DNA sequence: ATATAAATGAAAATCATTTTCAATAACACT
DNA sequence: AGTGTTATTGAAAATGATTTTCATTTATAT
């Protein structure tokens, strides 16, 4: 019974150790923040959130940890066009499903959607296979985003 | 018979004027560079290329022009993860076809592909329709990228 | 408890992109 | 072709997200 790990999935600890990394307080805290939201947080967002509980965790550590989490495949990093990277747990709260994004080019709102996801994923799978063979690429990931004007922005102008 | 416009599509001029913009030497030069390559150039790449012919065109103007071209829909802006934006004519040299990208997460190589593009575009069309209706988004664009290890990087470890 | 190397935090550095502002040039009109 | 208006430009400075540096701290194997 590890004392500190009350909130998040305890398998995180093993996942870190398995990769030869230490499971530290800041890392736990950052994962806790990410696992407690459906939003797409920036490094600074996460820094502020962590800061409430652990005021001495620095922004540098947040950046370093996020880079590590992305590298480990626990977190996805996105560019939605607002000049800062956004992060999301690759397996969302309570194992939220794989999804893609709708991005408003005016206000930068981001909407998760899972509609058509099965068809998309099926086609993506075939495409990945075809591309792997043709270009000898080892494909590990994909990105799909739709851009446009959100409800509010299309009406207000 | 406009004197300067020998290289590029003369309709660019009209396109600019139609939007109320002036068609200037730097703008022409930047479009010429973009229309003469299949690569995905950064602002600095374009700056250097333009500089060979017009040494007094500044990097600032390159950035401003690219922003304008993206806004006009003549150019696409991409983030392939190497910390700088990359640009591509939306209608490539001799009307190259709509395509998507394969990105190497190790060396940042980018490969254009058009395989499966018809199926993809068909599904994207349906998805766009469905999403527009459901979220009341006016969708204008989409992005599809596959990430992985390229031929070279997967072999060289 | 101790040793060791990984991880951290504060401050400084980096660097792509943006802003400022005076000078220039596109083009509508003679 | 010349002129006036105003968008556009270029140099320099500013911005701001992210990275680097380096001395200190901490997780964990012993
Ligand atoms: Mn999401
Ligand atoms: Mn391309
Ligand atoms: Zn919006
Ligand atoms: Zn590669």
Domain ranges of chain A: 1-90, 91-157
Chain A residue with Cα closest to B82: A79
Strand partners, B147: A141, B103
| CATH, domain range B91-157 | 3.30.1490.190
Task: Judge whether residue A5 has pLDDT over 60.
Answer: no
- Give yes or no on whether B1-90 and B91-157 have one common fold: no
Q: Give residue A6's pLDDT.
A: 41
Nearest to B130 among A115, A123, A130 (CB): A115
User: In terms of Cα–Cα distance, which of B15, A38, A13 is closest to B5?
Assistant: B15
Strand partners, B102: B111, B146
Task: Judge whether residue B120 has pLDDT over 50.
Answer: yes
- Give the CB-side neighbour count of residue B73, counting CA atoms within 13 A: 7
CB contacts, 8 Å: B118 with chain A: none
Q: A94 alpha carbon to ligand 1 midpoint, in Å?
A: 14
Class of domain A1-90: mainly alpha
Alpha-carbon distances of B3 from B17, B20, B33, B55, rounded to whole Å: 17, 21, 19, 20
- Quick one: which ligand is closest to A77's CA? 1
CB contacts, 8 Å: A108 with chain B: none
Please enumerate in sequence order all residues whose Cβ is within 8 A of that of A127, keeping only pairs 6 or more positions apart, or say none. Answer: B115, B116, B119, B120, B146
Average pLDDT over residues A97-117: 90
SS3 content of chain A, % helix, strand, coil (to 5): 45, 20, 35
Nearest to B148 among A127, A138, A144 (CB): A138
Q: Is residue A103 helix, strand or coil?
A: strand
Phi-psi region of B84 (alpha: psi -120 to 50; beta: other; left: phi over 0): beta
Could you tell me if A86 and A42 are in contact, meaning their C-beta atoms sit under 8 angstroms apart? yes
Average pLDDT over residues B73-84: 95
Q: Give residue A7's pLDDT.
A: 45
Could you tell me if A135 and B111 are in contact, meaning their C-beta atoms sit under 8 angstroms apart? yes
Average pLDDT over residues B71-85: 95
Q: Give the percent of chain B with pLDDT over 90.
A: 76
Q: Is residue B147 helix, strand or coil?
A: strand
Task: Judge whether residue A3 has pLDDT over 50.
Answer: no
Strand partners, A136: none
Band of pLDDT at residue B113, cut at 50, 70 and 90: very high
Q: Is the Cβ pair B143, A145 closer than 8 Å? A: yes
User: In terms of Cα–Cα distance, which of A129, A127, A146 is closest to A138?
Assistant: A129
Q: How far is it, in rounded angstroms, from Cα B20 to Cα B39? A: 30
Task: Judge whether residue B137 has pLDDT over 90.
Answer: yes
Average pLDDT over residues A137-143: 94
Q: Give residue A121's pLDDT.
A: 84
B117 to chain A, minimum CA–CA distance in Å? Answer: 9
- Quick one: which ligand is closest to A143's CA? 1
């Amino acid at each position: 019974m590890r004392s500190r790990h009350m909130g998040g999935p305890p398998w995180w600890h093993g996942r870190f150790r398995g990769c030869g990394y230490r499971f530290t307080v800041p890392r736990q805290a950052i994962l806790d923040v990410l696992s407690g939201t459906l939003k797409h947080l920036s490094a600074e967002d996460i820094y502020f959130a962590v800061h409430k509980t652990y005021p001495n965790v620095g922004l540098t550590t947040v950046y370093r940890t996020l880079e590590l989490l992305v590298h480990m495949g626990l977190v996805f990093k996105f560019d939605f066009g607002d000049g800062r990277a956004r992060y999301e747990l690759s397996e969302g709260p309570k194992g939220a499903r794989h999804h893609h994004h709708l991005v408003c080019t005016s206000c930068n709102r981001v909407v998760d959607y899972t509609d058509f996801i099965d068809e998309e994923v099926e086609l993506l799978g075939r495409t990945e296979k075809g591309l792997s063979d043709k270009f000898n690429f080892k494909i590990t990931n994909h990105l799909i985003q739709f851009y446009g004007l959100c409800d509010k922005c299309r009406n207000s102008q």
